[in-house]
Amino acid sequence: MPLSVRNSSLVLFADDAKYRRKVCTTADCELIQDDLNSLSEWSTTWKLLFKGRVVRMSTNSQSVEHTYLLNSCELTVSEDYKDLGVIVSYNLSWRAHLDYITSTAYKILEGWPSCILWLKFHRATERMK
């Protein structure tokens, strides 16, 4: 599969593949589509289907918009995705990840008793006179 990608980098981990490329012009978008077409051919040959989506990451408000196709299907655009337990956001903010962690913690705490006393023990040292 990595040999199918000629214009960018493809990172593989277990059953996950991440394709990435810096996009500045529409020519970059066309190169990405060429690689996606090659990946489609590869997946047809090996009878493995891809499920994918597009996440445009940028701190710049102006990005090049383009519709990408994989296996003749339009890829959906997402604002964030979960990667190895970390939510990565389109604007490189930690807000979505922190919201997810906080809501998960509150769900866990809902089952706990309403009154919990947390004690911290420490060793008291006194100066000997």
For residue 128, pLDDT over 70 is answered with no
Report residue 33 as tokens: 């589509």
Give the residue carrying structure tokens 């990435």: 20
Q: What's the average model confidence in pLDDT over 57-73?
A: 84
Backbone dihedral angles phi then psi of residue 81, each to the nearest 5 degrees: -150, 160
- Per-residue model confidence (pLDDT) at position 30: 95
Q: What's the distance, CA 97 to chain centroid?
A: 11
**Residues 70-89 pLDDT 10s:** 988 999 998 888 888 899 88
> Whole-number mean pLDDT of the chain?
83
Residue 58 has pLDDT above 90, yes or no: no
Confidence (pTM): 0.71
Q: What is the mean pLDDT of residues 91-113?
A: 85
